[in-house]
Amino acid sequence: MPHSFDIAALGEAMLEFNQTRPGEPQYLQGFGGDTSNAVIAAARAGARTCYLTRLGADWFGDELMALWRREGVDAGGVERDRQAHTGIYFVTHGEGGHAFSYLRAGSAASRMTPEWLPRERVQQSRILHVSGISLAISDSARETVLEAMRVAREAGTLVAFDSNLRLKLWPLEVARQTIAQAASLCDYFLPSVEDAAALSGMHAPAAILDWAHALGAPQVVLKLGAEGALASDGRRRERIAGVPVRAIDATGAGDCYCGNLLARIARGEDLFAAARYANAAAALAVQGFGAVAPLPYPREVEALL
């Protein structure tokens, strides 16, 4: 089957309200949802993209549909639900960094099911991108994500998986079991070092890579935040140094990394070249507010490399 898309992403998209200054009750409206952020980052990087989700038939959902149109993300795989709402979340900032508060219980995305899954869009894509958040928001969403991964593998579509661990959504032991299952179904496992440490009980990056490969993931990128990343294809490992920048808001930086990494892989770059590019893209993204607005374009990334 010919590929209509470079990257399909599946998950929950949300409206974001991001605190402008610590302690002040003023918020900038923006957009979020980890896999939506990632697919927009990929679209800005030049990839042909589509998004698969369910939204409420509400103003929040209208805003997200308009966002994807502006960003060139195909939304033909999005279904509107008149019985459920679109999720929203708030980002607050303090000395300890940023914190999230969610209003997503019973959201339209949490009601996705394997029967709803737009299988043909998964099959028509070079890469499917999914995350641990979508595995955690409901039992039916979990079944849908795992089914999408199986459909992708049967079709020869590569699978990328960001663990994106949120312990407010599910117990650690359940997360460990389910994320291990998902990692065994993916081609690219893209955890943060904080997620991987919690999931594996290990702290040394080299040991974490061994753990990730042992789960069955052939290619792994361990995101190290300001310290950069560590990439491994099972034979070779490369440490990619962080780019010194003045970080304003790290919301969505990991999603930016994933989207840019996958866009470069879809272009034919190897894991290590793509990881270096994504590292620079994420460094640019943390210099602005919100998950989507500061996502960079190739000319900005290339100027930093």
- Tell me the pairing of strands 228-232 and 237-241: antiparallel
- C-alpha distances (whole Å) from 188 to each of 83, 100, 145, 257 are 35, 26, 15, 13
Q: How far is it, in rounded angstroms, from Cα 196 to Cα 194?
A: 6
Q: How far is it, in rounded angstroms, from Cα 284 to Cα 278?
A: 10
Q: Among 6, 81, 255, 270, which one carries the catalytic annotation?
A: 255
Instruction: Decide if 139 is catalytic.
Output: no
Phi, psi (rounded to 5 degrees) for 124: -90, 5
- What are 121's strand-pairing partners? none
- C-alpha distances (whole Å) from 149 to each of 6, 61, 117, 130, 218 are 16, 25, 11, 8, 15
- Tell me, what DSSP letter sits at residue 258? H
Positions marked active-site: 255
